[in-house]
Amino acid sequence: MADDANSSTDTIIEKPSEEKPTEVKPAEVKRAWADEVDDPDEEEQPTSSTSAEKDPELNIGSLKIDENKNTEKFLDEPEEGNIKAVTGDTLYSTAVTFEDLNLSEEILKGLYVDMKFTRPSKIQSVSLPMILTPPYKDLIAQAHNGSGKTTCFVLGMLSRVDVKLRAPQALCICPTRELAIQNIEVLNKMGKYTGITSFCAIPVDRARDIPINKRSPITDQIVVGTPGTIKKWMSVKKLSVDDMKILVFDEADHMLAEDGFKDDSLRIMKDIEKSTPHCQVLLFSATFNETVKNFVSRVVKDGNQMFVRKEELSLDVVKQYKVNCPDEYAKIHVIKDKIFELGEKLGQSIIFVHTRRSADVLHKALSDYGWQCTSIHGAIEKDHRDKIVKEFKDGLTQVLISTDLLARGFDQSQVNVVVNYDLPVKYEYQSEPDYEVYLHRCGRAGRFGRKGAVFNLLCTQKEHMLMGKIENHFQNNIVEISDWQNNNEFESALKAAGLI
């Protein structure tokens, strides 16, 4: 929200004296994902990961979200589309209640008391029996954003661990540190009463950090982290996989994509297979394009599969709009004058941009107009990134500008509006939209069936072309706001989305 919350919507804001922000297209190096790279080599910069209790460098407890600062705590059950489940000769019964899953009393207490859950969502009721029923087959699972996928694999890990054995038994690999931290927070909350301990294996950027090869071996039962860091812990023999029972890939389509973390992911998987050939593999994501789907189906040969049809992936509760803007300067005015000013009680918003520099430029422009916002991208120091995410999740900031660093998996139920300042494109083919990333971006709003709106800001011929391809791909005609200066059109859009 703006600093002056009582200002009227027709207040004239003078244009700043500095030059108008223009579309920035700097030459950038090829990125692994979301403009950040996982750990560099040990010789270049020693890094390590830390558990919440034992190491002061990364205190997960200090990143714990303050739920008292959020007004909405209870999640509605999402409306799910048809899930196509492909199974072998093992029979599974859909779980109507969590008790149907034969979970321990300690896990049930975490679900009901701390997570505030009442019953499984659709994806949970179908997938959890597949995960928890012997002979523990592998699973490739796709479902809508915000439908409860994290709970599925977290319950899977907690249920398989022997609390008496002080050794790693479950491993969850994530594409970004933000997602790894978020997952371990859910894990610690859900497993609060179990006695199970966890370890967060993510890059840190403190110069005084102790090199991994000089650290004690990991004895926590569940490890969550990013692929480069996990591979490093394994390579220096500080992370044993001899007792590994379950291996999870979150955002699995990107973890196994050519332009993602495919090499590291396959190396980790093969190393585990050598030591524990019966380790269960779970692949979860909201998106699987055909190329990745065919590949993972070959990797996981004798497993169960759950997929959602492409046309059903876009959440109906999220209203999508395309806004015609004459230039980049108009995009900024649409954000501050139309989307924010007209919807003073919108909740929180995420604005997605394509490059780091675009994030910085937009942050400065909105700040100059008096809007309190934060921005995040891969060039920001990791400690500061953690602080930015925590403040946003605590509700201390309302507007967050981000590269695709937070496009996948970032869960904040108070986000009602997503703005695509730049449309996502494939890095190798700039004229081709990244359909999966677009869907993930939209999924940041309307979590668990809540109402939300997505505004796509278009000013160039290329952006209109990209938007047309997105509409054709998802077979969805996105409502057009033709006049970027017309308050009535934006008011109608926000009302249709149920936000005002």
Residue with more model confidence, 45 or 184: 184
CA distance 405 to 355: 10
pLDDT tops 80 at residue 139: yes
Instruction: Set out the domains of the chain in order of their start, with CATH numbers.
Output: 84-312 (3.40.50.300), 319-497 (3.40.50.300)
**pLDDT tens profile 309-336:** 655 555 566 899 999 999 999 999 999 9
Share of the chain above pLDDT 90, in %: 53
The contacts of residue 6 (CB under 8 Å, 6+ apart) are none
Helix, strand, coil content of the chain in percent (nearest 5): 35, 15, 50
Residue 385 · residue 34 · CB < 8 Å = no
Query: Which pLDDT band, with edges at 50, 70 and 90, does 475 fall under?
Result: confident
CA distance 183 to 224: 8
Pick from 442, 386, 487: nearest CA to 57: 386
* Buried/exposed code over 341-361 (b: 16+ C-beta within 10 A; e: otherwise): bbbeebbbbbbbbbbbebbbb
The contacts of residue 86 (CB under 8 Å, 6+ apart) are 304, 305, 306, 307
**pLDDT tens profile 403-438:** 999 998 888 878 999 999 999 999 778 899 999 899
Q: Which residues pair with 324 in a beta bridge?
A: 458
**Distance, C-alpha 213 to centroid of its chain:** 30
**pLDDT tens profile 22-66:** 444 444 444 444 555 555 443 333 333 334 434 445 665 666 656
Q: What is the pLDDT of residue 447?
A: 66
Query: Which pLDDT band, with edges at 50, 70 and 90, does 72 fall under?
Result: very low
CA distance 379 to 382: 8
Q: What is the pLDDT of residue 206?
A: 63
> Which pTM was predicted?
0.79
Task: State the chain's mean pLDDT as an integer.
Answer: 82
Q: What is the pLDDT of residue 401?
A: 96
Residue 205 · residue 378 · CB < 8 Å = no
CA distance 164 to 143: 34
pLDDT tops 50 at residue 138: yes
CA distance 138 to 130: 8
Q: What is the pLDDT of residue 474?
A: 85
